[in-house]
Amino acid sequence: MENIQKNKIYEEQFLLLAFISIVTFKIVMLPQYLVSTASNNSYMVMFFMVAIEVMMLTVVFGIAKNGSILEQDIPKWLKGALAILVFLSSIIKCTVRGSEGIAYISTSLYANVSWTFITLALVITCIYIAQQGGKVLARSAQIFFWIIAFAVAFFIIFSQINLDALNLMPFKISGDLAIAGDKYLMWFGDFTPLLFVTVVPSKNHGKKRLAIWTALAVLGVILFTVGLMLIFICTFGNAGELMGNAFLNVSSLNKIFFMIGSADLPTVLSWLVMYIVKFSLLLYAMTSCAKFFFGDKVIVSLICGAIVYCIICFGIGNLNTNYTLATSWLRYLMVFFEFTVVVAAYIAMRVSQSKKQQNAKSDNLRQPNANQTDTAQGEI
């Protein structure tokens, strides 16, 4: 019961988590990789894949409204199977995608700091947030949201980008788009961690307000992913294949540079907080699955954190290995896990609901007879 309370989040918080979940890993190295494969039309790949993710998230939202998948009325063996799949998917994402962020922090924010320190600091912080449950995670995201909002406002006010639409032309649908979509699958499909929260309606907010927030979240996702790709291509053209961190490269083009030098702190901060939330969310999914088998103990979370730490520092260790792993067969496995879990969880939930309805119907049919008997007995 306590567990259910710990993982209860409001609808708006779910939308914010979904936004961070989709956006975080797509705005760093992915634009560079997409441009190197599909050049000026690569924004279409981003649009197509993000659209699929948004659609899948609506299914996840429907499931999460009925509670976390581990607490739903579905067979225990199925819960176990789903937990194993999500655990594997999250560990792949957490290590392969997570190490991309660590590479950025170690080389760009600091001057080549060892991964071991950065990973340790991140894993400790994120495992702590994950251990606190979905509610704390969502609340943290809500607090961090203001940093993201500030960074966006800062960017809009001070940006100085000369967009050159010539770089986007010609509009051409070619096989390169499919190749890019396939090669970089690992960067997409970020929805299973949200299956472990229970979404409840906000207390004083109506449906209209939820609709507005949903529209804003979808718009935000499109702007941060497809919009960023468009700006990135217009700004750098095919030279985008040399530009590492797209989000920072685009946002660092501001007027303030000419006054006080490079002013990318708001963007760095906003990305870092998104990264912490996303990393915590993946660890949260991992620990939730592990706890399903080994019980709700702190040691389970710590072991999960230690596994992630070891894989990132001693298994991956640099950006080249990270890229090799991210574009290897692991991507197919991860996508299979992500989609299978959501579809299976949805079907299981519907079956369980229809069973419940049938039981309720048959109970109702039996109930009048029982009432009649009671009345008759009473009369006697």
- Pick from 249, 280, 287, 322: which binds another protein (CB under 8 A)? 249
End-to-end CA distance of the chain: 44
Binding residues among 292-311 for another protein as defined by CB under 8 A = none
Site membership for another protein, residue 157 (CB under 8 A): no
Residue 363 contacts another protein per CB under 8 A: no
Q: Considering CB under 8 A, how many residues would be counted as binding another protein?
A: 35
Question: Quick one: 74 or 122, whose CB is closer to another protein?
Answer: 122
Positions 171 through 190 that interact with another protein (CB under 8 A): 172
Residue with Cβ nearer another protein (190 or 264): 264
What are the strands, taking DSSP E only, across the chain? 8-10, 198-200
Q: Which of 261, 295, 368, 378 binds another protein (CB under 8 A)?
A: 261
CA distance 34 to 362: 56
Q: Which residue has the tokens 């970020």?
A: 190
- Quick check: bond before 170 cis, omega within 30? yes
CB-based contact 115:317 (threshold 8 Å): yes
Q: Does 253 bind another protein (CB under 8 A)?
A: yes
Q: How far apart are CA 107 and CA 103, in angstroms?
A: 6
Q: Which CB sits closer to another protein, 117 or 346?
A: 117
166 binds another protein (CB under 8 A): yes
Write out the two tokens for 355.
């069973």
- Closer by beta carbon to another protein, 168 or else 344: 168
Question: Dihedral (C-alpha) 347, 75, 94, 241: value to the nearest 10 degrees?
Answer: -20
Cα angle 202, 143, 107; round to 5: 140
Judged by CB under 8 A, the residue of 167, 192, 287, 322 near another protein is 167
CA angle, residues 209, 10, 274, in degrees to nearest 5: 100
Among 357, 360, 350, 285, CA closest to 65? 350
119 scored as a contact of another protein (CB under 8 A): no
Task: Give the residue, chosen from 262, 324, 358, 375, that forms a contact with another protein under the rule CB under 8 A.
Answer: 262
Residue selected from 4, 5, 55, 121 as contacting another protein according to rule CB under 8 A: 121
Closest CA relative to residue 19, chosen from 254, 200, 273, 287:
273
Of 175 and 261, CB closest to another protein: 261
Site for another protein (CB under 8 A): which residue of 1, 143, 156, 169? 169
Task: Tell me the closest approach of the beta carbon of residue 336 to another protein, in angstroms.
Answer: 34
CB atoms under 10 Å from CB of 72, counted, come to: 18
Binding site for another protein (CB under 8 A): 107-108, 110-111, 113-114, 117, 120-121, 124-125, 128, 162, 164, 166-167, 169-170, 172, 235-239, 241-244, 249, 252-253, 257-258, 261-262
